[in-house]
Chain A
């Protein structure tokens, strides 16, 4: 009797959200939410006939949802925008081990999880922006230089809640150990021009307003201003240069990455999608619309500003170390009094 009743409800709700069963789909849970993604998914559907069903939410929420749905989760592909989140998803057992070698031939090894659970498909660097009229770029060759007392009252940077700051510090911990990293964080805090506030773009604008001389930002926020059609934005970008630190451990690179869900109902489609993200059609959209760097060397794209920034000395550590040190990074920030 109960079963009959429940069946009726199921039949009803199935009718309510009727989906033709013939449809080829891939279910994507993504922490990205950019216009570029829409373009890539549309191109994918056009090329393969596979439709993309999408849920976008912050990485932590996505992990929680897939975890709590367990083996019933409809997720096929899980995408996040920070390597340490991918690591968390991996530790939560959300990913299936995948042999990425067949479709990731152009991706550098350091952007692929050594255990084979996920890989990066776009690159974002955290770089040092400076006021061209007040700073000689030769003064900074490494993130460690920001601890120098000469920068007192001259640095703008976001709060330590920001995942990209956490990953930057995680890389410093990986290279120098926690103690040095904490001393560095304390010195940078002492050099703040103002208490952390706003986003990366706000830090760039603060340089233009003369409130600070250097700022730590993701490169694509600068590119967006430089490529803008708004004169105010162009004026901001005009007076700012970017330093891609080449000294010590090079420039900090983070990824947008994807993995195939452990219980993916459409595994083949999931593989097809990840393959497509790494294709020329996918990669060029990310560079042209989101100003990220391509994960595949030699990708053809039309974005001169991004092109002009390429050729930097990237950190050689595997990005999976960012996740290994993320918790330590948050605690170092807490101890260093970095709001």
Chain B
């Protein structure tokens, strides 16, 4: 049992379920300027920062898929975009030898805004209309700023989810040696 819990995928699900519950209850009601904050997206990007591009893609896929399962939008849409966001965050992280908290917040904010913009575009490609609108700019800004603030909380959670030890965290990311 302990071995199972120590596996990253199991931990991602363990973290993802309560995060999704928060997303569908608390964050669905508490809106900032009418915008729903996106904790699942923040977690996906944080996983990329904590564990590199591969882990970011995996975490984004898992969190996005869980989110898709409770939405009416096509299954796999959030998984694809969140996975890409996690991968992108890991890739950006690999360019820096140090990752101070302010840099994490900046990356989480930037990637959140980008993912929020890309999601309706991908949806439009697959035939889901009505998501691209003038409101998108406001949604991008609010989600980016809120997720930047969330980063101080979600990056440590993502580290635990991916079972990253302190020694691994302090070492340069694997991408540096590619």
Say if A and B assemble together. Answer: no
